[in-house]
Every structure is written in C-alpha cells, then in structure tokens.
Amino acid sequence: MKCIRSEIIGWGHYLPPKVLTNDDLSKMVDTNDEWISTRTGIKSRHVSEGQTTADISVKASEMALKNAGLTISDIDLIVVGTLTPDNTTPSVAAKIGGVMGARPGMPTFDVAAACSGFVYALTVADNMIRLGQIKTALVIGAETLSNIVDWTDRNTCVLFGDGAGAVVIRAKEGDGTSQDTGILSTRLYSDGSQYNSLYVSGGVSTTKTAGFVVMNGKEVFKFAVGALAEASEAVMKDGGVSVDEVDWFLPHQANIRIIEGVGHKFGISDDKIIVTVDHHGNTSAASIPLALSESLESGKVKKGDLVVISAMGAGFTWGGVLVRI
C-alpha cells in the first residue's frame, strides 16, 4: 500500500581540526595507547578549541544541504540531538536556524536523549514527515563533549570526542514494502531506573553547573550490547527484513568491544559493521550521523543499501532505525 517515507537526500559532517591521540592523552593522565586501544578501539579523537556545538553543527548542515542540492529556506524543521548545547536555553536548533537564515516561523528544537539523541531526533522528524506536517527536515547530532569531560579522570577522558553530523530527509511516496528507499521503521526505548549508571554531574536545578561525565563502565557495557541488539532486532522485524538482507550495521560508536558484541549476537561479519570509533572516539549523539555521512561520502555505503542503525545512551535510552539509502 502506498505510503510516505522519509528519504535521506543529503548528508554532512564536521570534525574540529584539533586531533588528540592516545599518546597525547598519556602525557595528561596515567594511561597508554595499548590500554586505550585494546579496551576501547579508540586511537584518536577530535576536540574543539572554542568552536561551539552550534558552530560545528552549522558546518555539518552546510555540507548536508549542499549535498541535497537545497538551501536552508527549503527546510521545514531543524531538530538536534545533543547533550552539550551552547546555552541552557534556547535550543541549539534555534541558534542554527538563526545563524543559517532559516525561514521565520518554522519549528526548531533539541532532543535530550544523550547518545541516542540522533536516533530520537530522526524518529521524531520521520513521524512529522509521515503525518504530513512537514516535507523536509534537517536532522543533526552534534556534541562538544570535551567541555564536560574531566581531563584528569583517566576512566572517562580517553573515551570521548567532539563532532557533528547531519542529514536532510524529505517526504517521498513509497510502495509500503521493504524495497522502498527511506526510513522503513524506528523504535525508541528508555529505562530511568538506570539514571545513575551514566550521567553528567551538573545541572541547572541541582548544582547550577555543567558538571562532568560520570559512568559505571561495566554496567554501561553490559546493558549496551543487549539494548543495541534489541533495537536492531525490533527495527528489522518491523521493517520485514532478515539479518541476511542488511548491507550495513551502524551501532553507536562507543567502544569497539560493544560494537563487535552486537555484531556477534547476530552472527554478522565484521565487514558489514561500520566502525569510526577508532578516529572519532565516542561522540555521543553525533556518532551515528558522523559515521553515516563519512561512509556515504567515501562511497562505502551506496544508494539502495539497507542500513540498521542502533544507539544507546544515558537514561538509559536506546533505539533503532532501519533505512534504505
């Protein structure tokens, strides 16, 4: 049966120029490349030197719009997944709209779902498109996590990086089958009983400060593999596709052992799993659109490919998206 699908028509990403390697970190805290590489798969990450989350989002968005052959005036909605906004309020999305000259009156907002932020944002935008409320959306995941990392804490500072990724999605009529291009299914989840396993220690109504990332690494690790697998399985089932039909698995880029753990649950070969954590680190809500844009730009992921996206983050939150490019 004919239906509306949200098709990805443009993608973009931006990484701040400064690169911090594991060797650089070993001069800052008691760590070494061997420990970080084997435990996390991370070799280097980018860190912003004064560029804000909105600044790097604008760069990623400009690339996505250029790629789509559109201008900002064609956009009906800007939604940003982030946990590192420029200000407590207004939203980063509103700021991006203002800087880029978005049409006055169009909706903009941020989604607070930590590392799942982009999957949440994409799901909301997809639903608005399928309801006919909007036609074209700019969906961004962007973080400057370096601002909320305690650079004296070796347990956390080796894990994170900064960056931004964006996609432009647009309404297109589909046949209602898994052969359609565009978003085929989405799922969102959360479990607030795990609030204290992963959080940022500050807040407006608590400490009145921004705070630093605090994490129970082992708890997060255990939960992440199951959550990413649950979301992946659900979107494949909802979309009516089997594991064998999927071209690419794109899990949240937190840690290579989590990524491989999810892959092994489905018996997926490593060459079908997109990995950028080695040179991005964990960029939270930016990790998926960064990896997606990089893979599309390099030609690794091609038109017609079927991609399973899954994310998991603080809250805990988790979710998945099945999309045919």
Kindly list the residues in this chain that would bind ligand ACO in the complex (CB under 6 A).
31, 35-36, 39-40, 115, 154-155, 158-159, 198, 215, 217-218, 220-221, 224, 254-255, 282, 312-313
Long-range contacts of residues 130-133, Cβ cutoff 8 Å, at least 24 apart: 130/3, 130/4, 130/5, 130/6, 130/171, 132/4, 132/171
* Cβ 275 to ligand ACO shortest distance, Å: 14
Q: Which of 22, 67, 255, 282 is catalytic?
A: 282
Q: Does residue 295 sit in helix, strand or coil?
A: helix
Return the number of other C-beta atoms located less than 10 Å from residue 96's C-beta: 28
282 has catalytic annotation: yes
d(CA 35, CA 222): 20
Looking at the chain, list the stretches that DSSP marks H as alpha helix, in order from N- to C-terminal side. Answer: 22-26, 33-40, 53-68, 92-100, 117-130, 154-157, 217-239, 256-266, 277-280, 287-297
* Cβ 160 to ligand ACO shortest distance, Å: 7
* Cβ 240 to ligand ACO shortest distance, Å: 28
216 has catalytic annotation: no
What residue number has its CB nearest to ligand ACO? 217
Return the number of other C-beta atoms located less than 10 Å from residue 2's C-beta: 8
Tokens encoding 154: 């070796």
Question: Using an 8 Å Cβ cutoff, are 146 and 162 in contact?
Answer: yes
Question: Using an 8 Å Cβ cutoff, are 252 and 143 in contact?
Answer: no
Q: Is 99 or 189 the residue whose CB approaches ligand ACO more closely? A: 189
Q: Which of 46, 252, 255, 280 is catalytic?
A: 252
* Cβ 222 to ligand ACO shortest distance, Å: 9
Four-point Cα dihedral 87, 207, 140, 286, nearest 10: 130
* Cβ 31 to ligand ACO shortest distance, Å: 3
* Cβ 224 to ligand ACO shortest distance, Å: 5
Q: Is 163 or 313 the residue whose CB approaches ligand ACO more closely? A: 313
* Cβ 107 to ligand ACO shortest distance, Å: 28
Q: Is 306 or 308 the residue whose CB approaches ligand ACO more closely? A: 308
Q: Which of 115, 157, 255, 280 is catalytic?
A: 115
Question: Using an 8 Å Cβ cutoff, are 130 and 77 in contact?
Answer: no
d(CA 231, CA 203): 29
Q: Is 80 or 200 the residue whose CB approaches ligand ACO more closely? A: 200
Q: Is 122 or 134 the residue whose CB approaches ligand ACO more closely? A: 122
Q: Is 82 or 255 the residue whose CB approaches ligand ACO more closely? A: 255
At residue 31, what are phi and psi to the nearest 5 degrees?
A: -150, 180
Q: Is 109 or 221 the residue whose CB approaches ligand ACO more closely? A: 221
Question: Using an 8 Å Cβ cutoff, are 273 and 259 in contact?
Answer: yes
264 has catalytic annotation: no
Nearest CA to 290 among 74, 53, 14?
14
The catalytic residue positions are 115, 252, 282
